[in-house]
């Protein structure tokens, strides 16, 4: 079994779920008392938030690179970035650290293709929805991404930062998300990618008739598969 290096704390609420799901996934595959060999580096998210507030993407990258190097030095065999947004740094990180990174968008694209969809609605931070590091991965797999209109993108991003990262889940916030999902469906979305690992803690498959792609679950499963099969 490979040792998984988890870069978490972005935020800690979803990192808890990664740890739980990866350990449960390993045990489901191997049985007995088996659990994951993993090492967790968890950020103080305020350090990342301060960089984001001044649009210092290079500053965020240096924090992530430092975490990745520490995990490599601790003998991690692969890296899991426990946030969709951090995947904007995957190419640079792979080149500098020289460890395989299980990419959340690639794993999600595989799940979308399994049920034959070619157009999805994407919810996430403003970086995930507005930059191309995520949508390009989906596009390369033949999947078109629709994102909410600007005011809704601002609402989603603000909610992630000010509520979900703090383990605050409000009924009115959930309803607004469901309204946005309905709008995306009207614009042609066949399914919805919950492209921030905190969103699946608010929105569940039972909340909508559309297929929901829980990127946290998908990524954790891909991490388990990599640890056991590679």
pLDDT in tens, 37-63: 999 999 999 999 999 999 999 999 999
Section 63-79 average pLDDT: 98
**Other C-beta atoms lying within 10 Å of the C-beta of residue 94:** 15
Report the percentage of the chain scoring pLDDT > 70: 100
- Segment 120-163, tens digit of pLDDT: 999 999 999 999 999 999 999 999 999 999 999 999 999 999 99
Read off the CATH number of the domain in which 161 is found.
Answer: 3.40.50.1860
Q: Are residues 37 and 16 in the same domain?
A: yes
Q: Are residues 223 and 194 in the same domain?
A: no
Rg, Å, the chain Cα set: 17
The confidence score (pLDDT) of residue 230 equals 76
Domain around 14:
4-103+218-229
Q: Are residues 123 and 206 in the same domain?
A: yes
Q: d(Cα 129, Cα 121) in Å, to the nearest integer? A: 10
């Amino acid at each position: 079994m490979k040792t998984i290096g988890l870069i978490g704390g972005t935020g800690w609420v979803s990192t808890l779920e990664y740890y739980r799901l990866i350990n449960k996934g390993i045990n489901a595959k191997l049985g007995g008392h088996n659990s994951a060999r993993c090492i967790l580096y968890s950020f103080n998210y305020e350090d990342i938030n301060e960089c984001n507030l001044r649009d210092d993407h290079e500053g965020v990258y240096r924090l992530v690179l430092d975490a990745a190097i520490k995990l490599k030095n601790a003998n991690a065999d692969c890296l899991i970035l426990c946030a969709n947004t951090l995947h904007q740094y995957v190419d640079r990180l792979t080149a500098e650290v020289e460890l395989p990174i299980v990419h959340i968008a690639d794993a999600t694209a595989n799940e979308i293709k399994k049920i034959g969809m070619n157009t999805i609605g994407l919810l996430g931070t403003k970086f995930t929805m507005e930059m191309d590091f995520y949508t390009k991965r989906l596009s390369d797999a033949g999947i078109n991404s629709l994102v909410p209109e600007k005011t809704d993108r601002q609402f989603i991003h603000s909610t992630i930062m000010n509520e979900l990262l703090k383990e605050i889940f409000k009924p009115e916030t959930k309803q607004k998300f469901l309204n946005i999902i309905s709008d995306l469906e009207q614009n042609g979305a066949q399914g919805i990618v919950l492209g921030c690992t905190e969103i699946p803690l608010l929105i569940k498959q039972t909340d909508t008739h559309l297929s929901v792609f829980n990127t946290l679950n998908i990524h954790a499963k891909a991490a388990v598969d990599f640890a056991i099969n590679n």
